[in-house]
Amino acid sequence: MAASLGVLGEPTSKNVLSCKLLVVGAGGIGCELLKNLVLTGFHDIVVIDLDTIDVSNLNRQFLFRKEHVGKSKAQVAKESALNFNPNAKITAYHDSIMSPDYGVDFFKKFTMVMNALDNRAARNHVNRMCLAADIPLIESGTAGYLGQVTVIKKGLTECYECQPKPPQKSFPGCTIRNTPSEPIHCVVWAKHLFNQLFGEEDPDQDVSPDTEDPELTAEAGQTALEQKEQSNVAGGIERKSTRTWAMETGYDAKKIFNKLFRDDIKYLLSMETLWKKRRPPNPLDFDNLPHTECSEPSTVMRDQRVWSMKECAQVFSDCLAGLKKEFANQGENGMLVWDKDDELAMDFVASTSNIRSHIFGINQKTKFDIKSMAGNIIPAIATTNAIIAAVIVMEGLKVLNGRIEECKQIYLNRQPNPRKKLLVPCALDKPSPKCYVCSSKPEVTVVLNTEKMTIKTLEDKILKSALGMVAPDVEIDDGKGTILISSEEGEMEENNDKFLSEFHVGNGSILKCDDFLQSYELKIIIAHKDKLEEDKEFDVVGDLSELHAKPLVEQPTNQNGGTTSHQEEEDDLMIVDEVEVIKSGTKRKADQEPDEINAKRPKSSGDHNDDIVIL
Amino acid sequence: MKQMANSAILIYGMGGLGIEIAKNIALAGVKNLTIQDCKLAEIQDLGTQFFLREEDVGKNRAEASSSRLAELNPYVSLSALKTGLDCDSDLSYLARYQCVILTEAPLKVQICVNNFCRQQTPQIKFISADVFGVCCGAFCDFGDNFEITDLDGEEPKEIFIEKISKGKPGVVSCFKNKMHGFDTGDHVTFREIYGMTALNGWTCQIKVLSPYMFEICDTTGEEFAPYKHGGIARQVKVSQNASFKSLEQEILNPSLLIPDLCRFEAPANIHLGFLALHRFNEKFKRFPKAWCVDDSSNLVSLAKGLNTELTNKVTTIDEDLLNVLSYTNTGCLSPLCAALGGFVAQEGIKAVTGKFTPLKQWLYLDCRDVINKEEATTPDMFTPRLVKQQLGYPQNKTKLSCVYPL
């Protein structure tokens, strides 16, 4: 406040004092951002965050203390920030920004919106809300030592969704615990299991079935819940932690195996709603393992072939015994730290993730592949958050001064390279005329099999998950205006299990989608294809012409073009916390094609392309 | 991060920048963190020093913020020193720290402390950093022979081998034409090779031939049996030594990092501006007044004089920048403290861990973009006025009104 006003001069200071700000997210970046804003003199701030404070947040989210664990992040952040300036007016909402309570009118109240988010869905949503309300948005993200800040203004700059992004690499807890569908889900689960048994116990890393899965509405899962209550009441025992239980068994491989891979899976199966649209898992019994073939002859190295179930179970038993010893050597309060270069720890994760994959009918992976997946989980770094939050405020001050065109997209690099670059400012790009969000007539092509795609899958996986809508209405552009999906509850549910083809939706059909909350209308052009490669259910293709340029039988996902695919291989980076580098896939992987790397590099204003990003 | 958990860091100056650095280092976790400051908290400190509150005004800044800082991480043992630092101070107590970070210290004191740090065995890593208005900068000196154990913090790359030729040099091809991602000059070690078993456990420097092939050592010798199958090549992190120059040497011949190529000369100009500010302070026993035209022209001429002393002279002196620096230097912008505080803390962590390549040696950042041009060019409109109530503090804190116009 005072000190910075001396720097800023009168007009800017006035703008700062009168400006109304919305800060979305009160996590790693959000805490730093709130502090900077309050100290810079911003007086009128609304902060919103859905989360409560977790022990694992305390090592970087410095507005929180141990006694705050379990409380609303937004509320505690507000109280702590008020200590820095008791006269600031901060309003905290412990709520999801995607709730219908925060419509376009809500957004219109603000001078500017600042994102400090941790997930793609909310970023997409806020992007659309700010476009609809025509409010400037400052978007940010960090991943380990990398970070990025960019400014989004309708009609002036690229929006958050103008460029296709690599698939999101962070997963909701219920996917990990209840409904894994990709190998990485099982790898994450296996690492959590390791920590639950031997490492730092983190309540966020629970490995048991999650009965609070949002998919389990009032009735669904009721049986499961009741069973659980009964067993608890009957036994008169409180729920034990996985570790306590495992220790009591003496890390008995058979007992642990049967709990994790038989009983817990049976329990999951009892949550029937989960499996209506999914392949249900198959529980395994330690004494009755299936004969699965080895993928490669045994001359191939152990790390490089997929193990059979029996091998997995054997490795699992051996690792448990070995880790038990190591764990005991750590003494009373000791624990093991998972390290991918530790053979036992790595074998443990490789075997357990493959057993789980087998149970859920997911492709198994070699230890080598699992190692690269498991090793790429990037921790959040406090200093990166601090720097990025500072850059957000500086860009915000430029926006306030009405000089949005001078704003930059700024990349923070790990360290200076020989070219001595650390914070790299790049000019903001113009909006993409083909963007399916911010162009004047947004449209997108979706490749799918109309005979196998149900209305429900269209709504959940395509419209909501891939295209970021919250409450879509959909009608077919067939002259009759046949309604497929309604955002009103209870209106069109009877359509849910029907296939698109039953409504005569075929190749070239057009669906008109409208999300009232986001004030967003989108035309979807259906491209029918009998079979997509890699068993994908669908492909979202940014631009129709690109699709026409190539025959449909060819792979329609194109890394350097305007396409996004839903289930790409999960290879390069896995994201935890508020970690998402927005557009720059700055983490290079040896096996990426060179053009893919180029595509993910941010564009620069002045000098082109030569090692600007990779420091 | 074992080294971190065993190291001791001292941060001098508990203003807006000092507290940012301290917060970040406390969160990252070191064994011992000492904060030192002799200044008493003033009302304007509250603008950037977030761990000071109104009731702390008049108390020692280090002492007043230490309890709130200590709450951040129970594993860090935190102590506060109330003594000042000048060239006559007994510096021997610094010997117990691996890294010393100075903020808000006069250039002369920085040089004294830097020289002391260099004389110790092992040398103490030294960082000094300051925020002046819209500009900020940091200087790192990690000694003559600083070992960097891990240049980039990346995971070592690993590839499967398809074939190794017998040749001088031998050539390795990658399995299934996967790209190896190595660079010429990398060190690579081998394991699980069948046939040419002599290579297992061997480390050698490579030369990249293509994304799928690279040359290794001479494999024609008898000990190298023909390659059969299998094998993994893994990159080996080789530690490197970096040599830093002292602050005294670097002042006149700075190794500058250039964060923004569009403004290539900005760091050199800020360097000059900072030297001029220190010179101004030595000469007038104060810093230039906010938005004062006389002081700013004084600063510009000091800078021009100093430029003649530099080994690498600044070719185009950016008078606009120097003016803005002079107008704003007594103010302190919180986001700039936060940004520099992030970088300096990261350098401090590099200093004690040897992980990641450190900055060599000066980093300057500015955010004059946040100042409107018309504000910067017509300073007359910034005649000091009484502080208005929006500031959040009562009007009777008159000290503010003289220094900081609103």
Q: Between A545 and B151, where is the model more confident?
A: B151
Nearest CB among B47, B346, B392 relative to A383 is that of: B346
| Eight-class DSSP state of A214 | T
Per-residue pLDDT reduced to its tens digit, A295-317: 555 556 677 788 889 999 999 99
Cβ atoms within 10 Å, residue A112: 22
Nearest CB among A1, A36, A83 relative to B338 is that of: A36
Contact A606 B230 (CB under 8 A): no
Q: Is the pLDDT of residue A546 over 70?
A: no
Q: Is the pLDDT of residue A355 over 90?
A: yes
pLDDT reported for residue A216: 61
Q: Would you please indicate which residues of A are annotated as catalytic (active-site) residues?
A: 174
CB A393 within 8 A of CB A385: no
pLDDT band at B341 (very low <50, low <70, confident <90, very high): very high
Nearest CB among B20, B260, B370 relative to A398 is that of: B370
Same domain, B128 and B252: yes
CA distance B257 to B274: 15
Contact B375 A145 (CB under 8 A): no
In a domain, residue B301? The reply is: no
- For range A539-562, the mean pLDDT: 45
Same domain, B33 and B122: yes
Residues of B in Cβ contact (< 8 Å) with A301: 160, 192, 230, 232
In a domain, residue B401? The reply is: no
Q: Among residues of chain B, what percentage have pLDDT more than 90?
A: 54
> Which A-chain residues 401-420 have CB contacts (< 8 A) with chain B?
401, 403, 406, 414-416, 420
CA distance B86 to B106: 8
Q: Between A204 and A13, where is the model more confident?
A: A13
CA distance A296 to A305: 6
Residues of B in Cβ contact (< 8 Å) with A594: 211
In a domain, residue B304? The reply is: no
Nearest CB among A5, A394, A406 relative to B335 is that of: A394
Contact A390 B335 (CB under 8 A): yes
Please name which of B384, B340, B402, B370 lies closest in space to residue B134, comparing C-alpha atoms.
Answer: B370
- Average confidence score pLDDT of chain B: 85
> Which B-chain residues 53-92 have CB contacts (< 8 A) with chain A?
53-54, 71-73
Counting one residue from chain A and one from chain B, the pairs whose CB atoms sit within 8 A come to: 224
pLDDT reported for residue A87: 86
Last residue of a domain, one of B175, B201, B236: B236
Same domain, B28 and B175: no
Q: Is B362 on the interface with A (CB under 8 A)?
A: no
- For range B251-273, the mean pLDDT: 80
Cβ atoms within 10 Å, residue B87: 12
CB A74 within 8 A of CB A98: no
Q: Is the pLDDT of residue A199 over 70?
A: yes
Q: Between B387 and A520, where is the model more confident?
A: A520
Most A CBs within 10 A among B21, B23, B24, B104, hence the mutation to make, goes to B24
Q: Is B159 on the interface with A (CB under 8 A)?
A: yes
> Which B-chain residues 183-212 have CB contacts (< 8 A) with chain A?
192, 211
Nearest CB among B160, B363, B404 relative to A5 is that of: B404
- Average confidence score pLDDT of chain A: 77
Tell me which amino acid residue A523 is: K
The tally of domains found in chain B comes to 2
Q: Is the pLDDT of residue B388 over 70?
A: no
Cβ atoms within 10 Å, residue A415: 18
Q: Is the pLDDT of residue B195 over 60?
A: yes
- The H or E element containing residue A266 is helix A264-270
- For range B347-373, the mean pLDDT: 85
CA distance B230 to B193: 5
Q: What is the CATH number of the domain that holds B117?
A: 3.40.50.720
Nearest CB among A3, A13, A62 relative to B23 is that of: A62
Same domain, B118 and B143: yes
pLDDT reported for residue A151: 94
Nearest CB among A36, A145, A385 relative to B335 is that of: A36
A579/chain B closest Cα distance in angstroms: 17
pLDDT reported for residue A434: 83
pLDDT band at B372 (very low <50, low <70, confident <90, very high): low
pLDDT reported for residue A378: 61
User: Binding site membership of A: which residues?
Assistant: 25-30, 49, 57-60, 73, 96-97, 118-123, 159, 162, 435, 438
Same domain, B53 and B77: yes
Sheet of B203-205: strands edge to edge? B203-205, B187-194, B229-236, B158-164, B171-174, B213-215, B207-210
Q: Is A302 on the interface with B (CB under 8 A)?
A: no
Q: Is the pLDDT of residue A84 over 70?
A: yes
- For range A379-407, the mean pLDDT: 87
Same domain, B249 and B102: yes
Contact B375 A13 (CB under 8 A): no
Same domain, B252 and B193: no
pLDDT reported for residue A601: 35
pLDDT reported for residue A93: 96
CA distance B73 to B17: 19
Residues of A in Cβ contact (< 8 Å) with B43: 2
Same domain, B110 and B168: no
Same domain, B184 and B136: no
User: Binding site membership of A for ATP: which residues?
Assistant: 25-30, 49, 57-60, 73, 96-97, 118-123
Structural domains in chain A?
A: 2-166+381-427 (3.40.50.720), 183-361 (1.10.10.520), 443-561 (3.10.290.20)
> Which B-chain residues 114-143 have CB contacts (< 8 A) with chain A?
133-134
pLDDT reported for residue A129: 95
CB B94 within 8 A of CB B10: yes
In a domain, residue B293? The reply is: no
Q: Highest mean pLDDT range out of A27-41, A455-469, A592-606, B146-160?
A: A27-41
In a domain, residue B303? The reply is: no
Q: Between A380 and A346, where is the model more confident?
A: A346
Same domain, B166 and B122: no
Q: Is A145 on the interface with B (CB under 8 A)?
A: yes
Distances (CA, A) of A51 to A48, A94, A431, B98, B263: 9, 7, 32, 39, 41
Same domain, B168 and B51: no
Q: Is A192 exposed, middle or buried (0-12, 13-18, 19+ CB in 10 A)?
A: buried
CA distance B7 to B33: 9
Copy the structure tokens of residue B83: 């003594």
Most A CBs within 10 A among B160, B261, B401, hence the mutation to make, goes to B261
Contact B262 A605 (CB under 8 A): yes
Q: Among residues of chain A, what percentage have pLDDT more than 90?
A: 30
Per-residue pLDDT reduced to its tens digit, A590-614: 333 333 333 333 333 332 222 222 1
CA distance A77 to A498: 47
| Eight-class DSSP state of A461 | I
C-alpha torsion angle, residues A68, A70, A75, A79 (rounded to 10): 0
Q: Between B376 and A461, where is the model more confident?
A: A461
- For range A387-392, the mean pLDDT: 93
Per-residue pLDDT reduced to its tens digit, A256-293: 999 999 999 999 898 887 887 788 999 999 998 887 76
Contact B404 A145 (CB under 8 A): no
Q: Is the pLDDT of residue A331 over 90?
A: no
pLDDT reported for residue B142: 96
pLDDT band at B149 (very low <50, low <70, confident <90, very high): confident
Q: What is the CATH number of the domain that holds B177?
A: 2.40.30.180
Residue of chain A minimizing CA distance to B177: A591
pLDDT reported for residue A354: 94
Of A217-226, B84-93, B254-263, B364-373, give the lowest mean pLDDT range. Answer: A217-226
CA distance B137 to B365: 6
Q: Do you find a cis peptide bond into B122, omega within 30 degrees of 0? A: yes
Q: Is B382 on the interface with A (CB under 8 A)?
A: yes
In a domain, residue B403? The reply is: no
Of A215-229, B109-123, B224-238, B273-287, give the lowest mean pLDDT range. Answer: A215-229
Same domain, B7 and B144: yes
pLDDT reported for residue B401: 23
pLDDT reported for residue B38: 95
pLDDT reported for residue A295: 54
Q: Between A378 and B99, where is the model more confident?
A: B99
In a domain, residue B53? The reply is: yes
Domain with B223 in it: 158-236
Q: Is the pLDDT of residue A244 over 80?
A: yes
Residues of A in Cβ contact (< 8 Å) with B101: none
pLDDT band at B380 (very low <50, low <70, confident <90, very high): very low
Q: Between A586 and A94, where is the model more confident?
A: A94
Residues of B in Cβ contact (< 8 Å) with A368: 158, 160
Q: Among residues of chain A, what percentage have pLDDT more than 70?
A: 75
Q: Is the pLDDT of residue A565 over 60?
A: no
Q: Is A393 on the interface with B (CB under 8 A)?
A: yes
pLDDT reported for residue B18: 96
pLDDT reported for residue B98: 96
| Interface TM-score (ipTM) > 0.85 | no
Q: Is A301 on the interface with B (CB under 8 A)?
A: yes
- For range A50-58, the mean pLDDT: 79
Strand pairing category for A112-115 and A137-143: parallel
pLDDT band at A220 (very low <50, low <70, confident <90, very high): very low
Q: Is B328 on the interface with A (CB under 8 A)?
A: yes
Q: DSSP 3-state assignment of A522?
A: strand
Copy the structure tokens of residue B47: 């603008």
Per-residue pLDDT reduced to its tens digit, B75-120: 899 999 999 998 899 999 999 999 999 999 999 999 999 999 999 9
- For range A512-529, the mean pLDDT: 91
Q: Is the pLDDT of residue A127 over 90?
A: yes
In a domain, residue B352? The reply is: yes
> Which A-chain residues 62-101 have CB contacts (< 8 A) with chain B?
62, 65, 83-88
Q: Is the pLDDT of residue B31 over 60?
A: yes
